[in-house]
Chains A and B, each alone.
Chain A
Amino acid sequence: MRREQLFVGLEIGTTKICVIVAEGLPDGSIHILGVGDTPSRGIRKGEIIDFASVTECVREAIIDAEEKSNVEIRSVWVALSGGHLQSFNNRGIWILPDDHDAITQEDLRMVEINAKEVTLPSANAFLHTIIQNYHVDGNRNVIDPEGMIASRLEADFHIVHGVKNRIQNTLRCLESLKLDVEDIVMNSLASAQVVLTQQQKDLGALVIDIGGGTTDFLIYIDGAVRHSGVLALGGDHITNDISIGLRLPIARSELLKIEEGSALLTASMNEQKIHLKNDTLFSGCEIDRKALNLIIHARVNELMQLLRREVERGCHLDLLGAGIMLTGGCSKLRGIKKLTEEVFQLPVSVPLLSNISGPTSTFENPEFSTAIGLTKYANAVYTAIPHENFFSKITDVLGGFFGRR
């Protein structure tokens, strides 16, 4: 097996750090070789707040993955999230020089550079410039213009940017572990690679990845990314609300949310009591199921309302022909699917990850969708880019964050 076909996806999440070692197959699918994960410390809302703790947790997760996959990990693809990430769409325009017969790779690069000629906040850096479609001499929606004869090339891009220092902190953490970073990928973009099929991307779909600290979303319409964003709200907020509302320790609240919580309010829950058993440093008690579900419902409903507003800023909901795909650890919460349907008035599903083989328990668990998606994204990039250009592209991306360019 060639070394280049092994990809390692690393997600530094608010509740867990997850490492997936996978083998990329020529048909675009991936085979998972091993999974390493560890509960995370020092992360809040997707961002590092305790550098040393995070570094230690990443080390543990990497070692775990190495042991399970029997692969020595040297480089990783990293998922990134956080409320600082923002996006917008912009069009680049490039008038081809007179001596050009046809559109070349250089022209495509120039139109991308032009699209990025926008004034970002001084502290921010570009994370992704994702092509939506090309326009060649006014001919709209050209998929691959290379080789076409033209005088004017335009291209629409979805541009994602974030606070440079916060992105660098993640990289610095991995640098201290002597790990090479092959690329940084926005959480939702990675998740979408395994949650959506090409057909769904063409039809129009919204991916909502609800993690512990953040909720990431991404919209595909006509096969291209149209809108994306991050809300610094996640499962931790539900746990925190339960902890405050029912006066329970955080750990007990988390367990209660997973075992008994539901985002739906039903008449049958009114008189029901939940008995919490004695535990270390916690004397048992009885709580109302109604109170628990009311707290969860309020938070999840608010989250979905906010998401709906954010999504509507980028596209009309009618364009989401394939509906909404929920993923991330919090998508396992009871009733969240139905509540999302009520808020968006669209079909919602919690899909199984596609085109993956390996340990079933891994890819049936939506918690791992981002890390698995990273490996699939890596495989797609590897397949699309000629081998000799592969690593130069990666260096370009990371060079931007470390100021080498």
Chain B
Amino acid sequence: MPSSALNSGSRSIHFSYRIIGLGNAGVNFLDRLLLKDPAFSGLIALNNDAEALAASVVTTKLLLPSELDDSSSLSSEDLAKALPQLVKEMEQASVVILVGGLGGGCASTLLPHVARMSKAAHKTTLACVSLPFSFEGKRTQLIAAQSMAALEKECDGLIFLDNDRLCAKRASISALGETFTASDEAMEAILPALLAILFNKGPVRITRADFLKALQERGSKHSFGYGEAIGGNRLHEALEQALKNPLLDRGRCLPKASHVFLLLRGPKDISFAEVQAAMQEVERLAGPDRDIQLSVYPEKPSGEPLQIFLFAIIGGTPAALEVMQPLPAAESKLPKEEIIKPQLELSSHETLPSIDLLERPQASQDEHAVLESIVSNCETLASSLKTSTKGVKPYSQEEEGSIAPKKEREDKRELFQEDLFKKSAEIPDAIATKSLLPPKLKQTQGALNLKALQRGRFDKSEPTIFEGEDLDTPTYLRLGLKLG
């Protein structure tokens, strides 16, 4: 039986699960898990690529015989005959989790068959898969969709990671490798969380049946976020990280969720107040009538980070599903970040329309046409703003020694802002005006970076970051100890 990484502390509870990584992506996920936490066990790598399999750090490696490479004639019976060790491993487990990346040859073909084998052995079978990026081609998407449809029938629960949505906000600024890493990291977080929910021995649990029932809802979409932090403000920091996850969209998709699962995992000293605060915050974001289920798993020694995992299942209403749709291809023309992010705070014009483009103006309109019109309107407005601001220098650009009197400066600012207001009123409401305004006018007073000063002789050296804390900063300062 695998001894789970969930119990890195002194207890040694043995859980009966197997995580089977299929294909290159699946095996890669397992490798990452194992390199991050060598105590992780119960991992099985299954691949048809002998070279990739040899490079894996997973102990149990199974090579798919070459005669089974032909996907059209493959059956779960053939697979069971060819891989008796896999059958044996499955028999020893009560829960089997299948991991892989859909769209490729190996995982897409094998996943449904392995799932069927697991179900035939009467095991609770879950699949955790990542969907291909849109740039990987239509054929890849088609294979992924077909495989997912087959998997849905075979599994007790299917969790999928939409890579396009995960990386959409960073697409314009991230290197290709970073986007893949983000996907891997997300999967790295979901597997331990899944095990924690399924095998929680803590005081507050989610029943396995409830969780699986929620996962089984046909057509539902999954969103999750995770965060971890230590220190006095660990709850808020971890929750903030979790909500920052692009899939959760800062918690905006929570009100649309049919089920929300909140897992708090970490040190034994998780306090009642922290649990209460986390629940209140999620309830506030999701709405009081949502089905929010809580699981608390305090199994680690004190000092370990508090981990928060937020899992939302969105299904049922068409409106809810719309929120979860992958971004249209035309979006790439106009980086979403630029539209949403406020570039200027206009305190004197609080009535300025501030419509978020994420909320689509009219469901009936063609999205591409809307986006194209936005792009052209943006360009028009940008050029007109450029013209209108010609005579007015922003304060930050004022030359030293030629600062105008205060009254004159204020007049100029009002004039400038009025002009902006007029221009912004001319464009359709759908355009988020705040994104199109020039850089900040107000100068802000600089603040001394006291944290850097506290690093003393290590000020200019590479920081020693351990679990989010800069260990070069004196310990007594971080702990808030008083010396006097």
**Residues of A with Cβ closer than 8 Å to B?**
44-45, 49, 83, 88-91, 114, 117-119, 231-233, 236-237, 239-241, 243-246, 250, 288, 291, 294-295, 298-299, 301-302, 305-306, 309, 312-314
Contacts and interface: CB of A to CB of B under 8 A. Distances in A.
B458 A233 contact: no
Interface string B1-34: 0000000110000000000000000000001000
Interface string B49-79: 0000011110100000000000000000000
Contacts of B372: none
B462 A313 contact: no
Given A288-B483, A313-B8, A313-B39, A240 B456 contact: yes
Interface in B171-196: none
Closest 7 CB pairs of A and B: A241-B474, A291-B483, A298-B475, A232-B464, A240-B456, A298-B476, A44-B461
21 contacts: A44-B462, A45-B462, A49-B461, A91-B59, A232-B471, A237-B472, A239-B457, A240-B458, A240-B472, A241-B456, A244-B456, A244-B474, A245-B474, A245-B477, A246-B483, A294-B476, A298-B479, A301-B475, A309-B301, A313-B38, A313-B39
A114 B61 CA distance: 13
Which of A89, A118, A239 neighbours the largest number of chain B CB atoms within 10 Å of its CB? A118
B345 interface: no
Contacts, number: 91
Nearest to A299: B475
A241 B9 CA distance: 30
Contacts of A301: 475
A88 B475 contact: no
Contacts of B472: 237, 240
A119 B9 CA distance: 29
Nearest to A47: B462
B325 to A, nearest CB: 35
B228 to A, nearest CB: 14
Contacts of A299: 474-476
Given A91-B59, A233-B464, A243-B456, A295 B38 contact: no
B55 A83 contact: no
A253 B360 CA distance: 62
Contacts of B398: none
Contacts of B272: none
Contact of A88 (B57, B458, B483): B57
B457 A243 contact: yes
B484 interface: yes
B54 A114 contact: yes
Contact of A118 (B55, B464, B475, B476): B55
Given A44-B462, A298-B479, 16 more contacts: A49-B461, A83-B464, A117-B55, A233-B471, A240-B455, A240-B458, A241-B456, A241-B474, A241-B476, A243-B457, A288-B483, A291-B484, A298-B476, A301-B475, A302-B471, A306-B466
Interface in B297-328: 301, 303-304
Given A306-B466, A309-B303, A90 B57 contact: yes
A225 to B, nearest CB: 14
A15 B89 CA distance: 53
B7 to A, nearest CB: 11
Nearest to B457: A240
A244 B474 CA distance: 8
A237 B471 contact: yes
B38 A244 contact: no
A117 B475 CA distance: 40
Contacts of A295: 474-476, 483
A231 B57 CA distance: 24
Nearest to B61: A93
A44 B461 CA distance: 7
Given A117-B54, A243-B456, A305-B303, A89 B38 contact: yes
Contacts of A119: 31, 55
Given A45-B461, A313-B37, A244 B454 contact: yes
A312 B303 CA distance: 14
B483 A236 contact: no
B425 interface: no
Question: For the complex, would chain B's binding face be called helix, strand, loop or mixed by DSSP majority?
Answer: loop
A240 B474 contact: yes
Interface in B446-475: 454-458, 461-462, 464, 466, 471-472, 474-475
A236 B461 contact: no
A316 to B, nearest CB: 8
B464 A245 contact: no
B403 interface: no
Nearest to A295: B476
Contacts of B479: 298
A314 B8 CA distance: 10
Contacts of B475: 241, 295, 298-299, 301-302
Contacts of A288: 483-484
Contacts of B471: 232-233, 237, 302
B59 to A, nearest CB: 6
A117 B458 CA distance: 37
B404 interface: no
A231 B301 CA distance: 20
B474 A88 contact: no
A184 B479 CA distance: 38
B55 A236 contact: no
B461 A88 contact: no
Nearest to A49: B461
Contacts of A302: 471, 475
A40 to B, nearest CB: 14
A301 B472 CA distance: 15
Contacts of B37: 313
A236 B457 contact: yes
Contacts of A313: 8, 37-39
A301 B471 CA distance: 13
B481 interface: yes
B476 A88 contact: no
B330 interface: no
B307 to A, nearest CB: 15
Nearest to B34: A88
B204 interface: no
A119 B483 CA distance: 48
A313 B457 CA distance: 31
Among the interface residues B455, B472, B476, which one has the most CB atoms of the partner chain A within 10 A?
Answer: B476
Contacts of B54: 114, 117
B35 interface: yes
A117 B477 CA distance: 44
Contacts of A231: 464, 466
B471 to A, nearest CB: 6
B457 A245 contact: no
A245 B483 contact: yes
B181 to A, nearest CB: 11
A290 to B, nearest CB: 8
Nearest to A292: B483
A91 B57 CA distance: 8
Interface in B189-241: none
A288 B39 CA distance: 45
A299 B37 CA distance: 26
